[in-house]
């Protein structure tokens, strides 16, 4: 793993705008969270992949548990048709301890999907999963989030418990994504973090 953490800029590191017409009920927006906002990118490059970005994302969206490390997390669909993913679908990401995280799909394209956190989630923010083909097949997990409440902030920022769980969960997902793409990771996993302390400035 190649990890870096630098100071972020509240003008550029906030989450993207929600799509026009998106359902906003129960959404946990970052301004309602606690502590610093983290803009984080997990990036994997996959060599010798036998499928392209659209097919890879399609396989994952049919059943996110295909790449979820079940020792850390399981995706339980609670709204929407099984075997597919569409805007408005909802999942509960079930994790050990009091970490269950409800999310809603707010954007779905041929090569990406974006989720927003709902009330009761450990975090307040968004996360996007996307793939693209360059010289290699690249898969990216990008999140913009703060702790959802003071307890979550304590466990993440000060005791670092949930931070390490999150790190291992998403790196495990990327390893499984490479397997699902019938390829192999190359160059390690890149983890870039931009921390914004002055969230109110956004």
pLDDT tens by residue, 134-191: 889 999 999 999 986 766 666 656 455 566 677 788 899 999 999 999 999 999 999 9
Helix, strand, coil % (nearest 5) of the chain?
25, 40, 35
pLDDT digits (tens, 9 = 90+) for 87-121: 999 999 987 666 678 999 999 999 999 999 999 88
Count structural domains, the chain: 1
Residue 122 vs residues 31, 60, 112, 126, 156: alpha-carbon distances, Å = 14, 23, 23, 12, 10
Tell me, yes or no, whether 106 lies in a domain. Answer: yes
Rounded to the nearest integer, the mean pLDDT of the chain is 89
Tell me, yes or no, whether 17 lies in a domain. Answer: no
> E strands within the chain?
2-7, 34-47, 74-79, 90-94, 101-109, 112-117, 123-133, 137-147, 184-196
Tell me, yes or no, whether 179 lies in a domain. Answer: yes
pTM of model > 0.75: yes
Tell me, yes or no, whether 35 lies in a domain. Answer: yes
Tell me, yes or no, whether 130 lies in a domain. Answer: yes
Residue recorded with tokens 């000060």: 158
Q: Are 190 and 49 in contact (CB under 8 A)?
A: no
Tell me, yes or no, whether 29 lies in a domain. Answer: yes
CB atoms within 10 A of CB 80: 16
Q: Which domain covers residue 60, as residue numbers?
A: 24-201
Strand partners, 41: 142, 192
CATH number, residue 99: 3.30.530.20
- Coil, helix or strand at residue 68: coil
Q: Are 13 and 142 in contact (CB under 8 A)?
A: no
Tell me, yes or no, whether 9 lies in a domain. Answer: no
C-alpha 44, offset from chain centre: 14
Tell me, yes or no, whether 178 lies in a domain. Answer: yes
């Amino acid at each position: 793993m190649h990890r870096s953490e630098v100071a972020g800029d509240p003008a550029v590191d906030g989450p993207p705008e929600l799509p026009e017409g998106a359902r906003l009920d129960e959404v946990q927006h970052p301004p309602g969270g606690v502590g610093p906002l983290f803009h984080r990118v997990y990036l994997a490059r996959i060599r010798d992949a036998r499928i392209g970005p659209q097919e890879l994302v399609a396989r994952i969206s049919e059943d996110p548990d295909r790449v979820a490390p079940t020792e850390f997390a399981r995706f339980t669909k609670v709204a929407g048709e099984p075997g597919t993913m569409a805007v408005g679908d909802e999942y509960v990401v079930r994790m050990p301890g009091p970490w269950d995280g409800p999310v809603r799909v707010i954007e779905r394209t041929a090569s990406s999907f974006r989720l927003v956190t709902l009330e009761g989630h450990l975090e307040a923010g968004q996360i996007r999963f996307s793939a693209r083909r360059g010289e290699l097949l690249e898969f990216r997990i990008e999140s913009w989030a703060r702790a959802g409440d003071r307890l979550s902030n304590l466990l993440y920022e000060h005791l670092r418990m949930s931070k390490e769980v999150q790190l291992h969960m998403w790196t495990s997902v990327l390893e499984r994504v490479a397997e699902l793409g019938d390829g192999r990771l190359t160059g390690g996993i890149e983890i870039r973090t931009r921390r914004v302390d002055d969230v109110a400035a956004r």
